[in-house]
Chains A and B, each alone.
Chain A
């Protein structure tokens, strides 16, 4: 109703003073503290009624209650951390296992090579194993030594 609007203190900005009356209680004004509490609780609705925000609609002396930031149930960083850690552990396990396998293969190869060399040595000696030769005390046969000299001169 038009009678409820009074113009005073005209400024360049859109601003207004208002009082809230309780129609059920004989048009008495509602105390300021109650109005303040009500505005604080319903700030969002008042803002959206005017299509404004906390920054563009200012209630003097009423600071807005802030809504807490949305927090997911598990912090995001734990999830990322889990992913990173799994990748790294997988990498380490892979490298260690491949290292062990390589060493096993190398050991097997080297023992095979040793066996091969032993066989070659044995056959070269015409069936007489090296160890047997070493154990016997050797003495130089003078005849053969002389023959050797003849062979080398050729």
Chain B
């Protein structure tokens, strides 16, 4: 049985127009919303510049080896995730199915986040920005109560955008404006992925490069804002004591892992459209380094803006106190300025302590404002939007910011959809005569219909669940089996020969050590630490409840049992595929071995197929 004779040289597989498109697609897939709203947050809470140490160690021993593995695998086997893992070994077919399932689950909720970005984008054309003012109450004597007690920005996010319910078990109704935006987002995804990499390859030129332009513009603008330097100093001041906390190392490892979009199957799909003789080693190192540099680059404007926001809030606090003091003591205007506020306060406190105490002044501390750290959607939709209102020309900044977020998310969506699309195409779900446009249309339509659940009142709670459970633990498990599968089942010797054949030079010792020992060990440790941390407290969430006593603080609630069951299901379903498929194949083997005419098929090899 010779593999050479069966597989023709020109197999009609689509390919990238040029190498740059491929690299850009991988970078676009890796660089996503997390680079902008998770990495700066982690830097801030884990001791600033000191966080870079565990981050780069994790990049070196976990990120780059796994990335190289996936790219080499896809390029060698020239198939999507399901086909590739079936070729490596039929017992490992479950890894591919698991990857595919995770890609499906993540695509569903990721596009809903983009829906929110789109909603904010189309609202940015209004003057004044709708999240800058509170609406009035019925008799027009004051502002809407919910808005007044929290802030206008919070109100716009929780009420006008999400129309959130106070509890996850209350589903609320479908929000029609979100449905419209969701339909638009899926239409955009369909437009860009309609013919697979033929169309995404063209779209990626815009969606991958545009965010860098906007980040640069924000960088220049951000550095000119007052208070920017405070924010940057706060971000980057290293506090080496935090390195003693194992939580920091865990966060660094998970951040690198999720940031590079490993184990989704999307990278394998991208690499499978490459010519076989391509230097995947250099590609992997390039993509990983660009991803990390982007995270660092993005954190500079983010923290300039956050520093600006903290400074403005601090000045507002001071101004409010000054007004109360001036009113109380009947002092002339401009007698107390921000600069001499502290001296005035100490003087007044010593001479009229009772009066000062009666005023109930809020203590204004710049450090406290800087400490208010947020990550995720809170950073983009609450904190950043508030800062944008304060900038001159806020519409333009808002429009730019949300287009940037949309491009970042869209280029990651391309990778997710490719991870779903390519294996389905190879499994011949639709007949070969049917056009590719049909399959991508079916995928987008079904995803849109399922994602309608996320437009309910409780939708954002569900997205948090999907993010925490479907998009985290299964990936770690799948990546672990990927490394083990290639290193010990396919055997490193054979794989290194394949990689040598593709790149044209011998495999470095670094790859041998990391693929064989360090990466699987690291993944195992990270997985166990991650699960242990999750299990330590009962799974809870914070709900936005206007009737809560501590409002505007969010109310801490525990998930009801049926929701907890869904969480467990989401986390274990993709992982279960791996042993299930292996078991299924074992049973098939046993049945076949009873047949004496059974001949074991030759296991696939890179070189055999392509030489």
Contacts and interface: CB of A to CB of B under 8 A. Distances in A.
Contacts of B143: 66
A140 interface: no
A66 B140 CA distance: 6
Interface string B318-334: 00000000110011110
Given A12-B331, A81-B180, A96-B437, A66 B136 contact: yes
A92 B190 contact: yes
Contacts of A69: 128, 133, 135
A88 B136 contact: no
Interface string A92-126: 10011001100100000000000000000000000
Contact of B141 (A11, A63, A89, A100): A63
Contacts of B73: none
A142 B133 CA distance: 102
Given A76-B126, A81-B181, A95 B191 contact: yes
A89 to B, nearest CB: 7
Interface string B98-141: 00000000000000000000010011011010000101100011
Given A68-B136, A68-B140, A76 B125 contact: yes
A88 B330 contact: no
Interface string B578-593: 0000000000000000
B473 to A, nearest CB: 35
A42 interface: no
A87 B586 CA distance: 52
Chain A, interface size category, equals 20 to 34
B125 A80 contact: yes
A17 interface: no
A95 B193 CA distance: 11
Nearest to A15: B330
A63 B435 contact: no
A92 B133 contact: no
A95 B332 contact: no
A129 interface: no
A81 B437 CA distance: 25
Contacts of B187: 85, 88-89, 92
B309 interface: no
Contacts of A12: 330-332
B194 A92 contact: yes
Contacts of A95: 191, 194-195, 199, 437
Contacts of B206: none
B377 to A, nearest CB: 19
Contacts, number: 68
Interface string B456-487: 00000000000000000000000000000000
A111 B188 CA distance: 35
A7 interface: no
Contacts of B326: 13
B534 interface: no
B169 interface: no
A141 B471 CA distance: 73
Interface in B177-210: 180-181, 184, 187-188, 190-191, 194-195, 199
Nearest to B120: A77
Contacts of A103: 435
B435 A13 contact: no
A77 B332 CA distance: 45
Contacts of A99: 194-195, 435, 437
A68 B199 CA distance: 47
B142 interface: yes
Contact of B125 (A15, A77, A96): A77
B122 A84 contact: yes
A77 B195 contact: no
B548 to A, nearest CB: 27
A52 to B, nearest CB: 12
Contacts of B181: 81
B141 A65 contact: yes
A100 B128 CA distance: 46
Interface of A: 11-13, 15, 58, 63, 65-66, 68-69, 76-77, 79-81, 84-85, 88-89, 91-92, 95-96, 99-100, 103
Interface of B: 119, 122-123, 125-126, 128, 133, 135-136, 140-143, 180-181, 184, 187-188, 190-191, 194-195, 199, 326-327, 330-333, 435, 437
Given A65-B141, A79-B125, A95-B437, 19 more contacts: A11-B330, A12-B332, A13-B333, A15-B330, A58-B327, A65-B140, A66-B136, A66-B140, A66-B143, A68-B136, A69-B128, A69-B133, A76-B125, A81-B122, A81-B184, A88-B187, A89-B187, A92-B190, A99-B194
6 contacts: A66-B140, A66-B142, A79-B125, A84-B122, A88-B191, A99-B194
